[in-house]
Amino acid sequence: MITMVMYAKVRRMFFQEHVSISEIGRRTGLSRNTIKKWLRAPGRYRAHVLQSQSHRQADANSRETSSYPD
């Protein structure tokens, strides 16, 4: 599963540390195509991941509270 930590790590290595895409792939085990995709569409992909994670967390929280007896 893709985590925001890994996504941020890839972007930090490329933009701040100036590590090549091939080297990022070696260090993380991700394919170069995945890395290129993450670097090419940061806003759209990041917003989608954040939104889906927050919805999952909200659903989990509502299930927990609804299972408690009154």
Helix residue spans in the chain (DSSP H): 4-15, 21-28, 32-40, 42-66
CB 4 within 8 A of CB 48: no
Residue 57, pLDDT score: 60
- For the chain, 70 residues long, give each residue's pLDDT as a single digit of tens: 668 889 889 999 999 999 999 999 999 999 999 999 999 875 655 555 555 555 566 565 565 555 555 5
Q: Quote the CA–CA distance of 50 and 62 in Å, as a whole number.
A: 18
Residue 70, pLDDT score: 53
Domain extents in the chain: 13-42
Q: Quote the CA–CA distance of 10 and 39 in Å, as a whole number.
A: 8
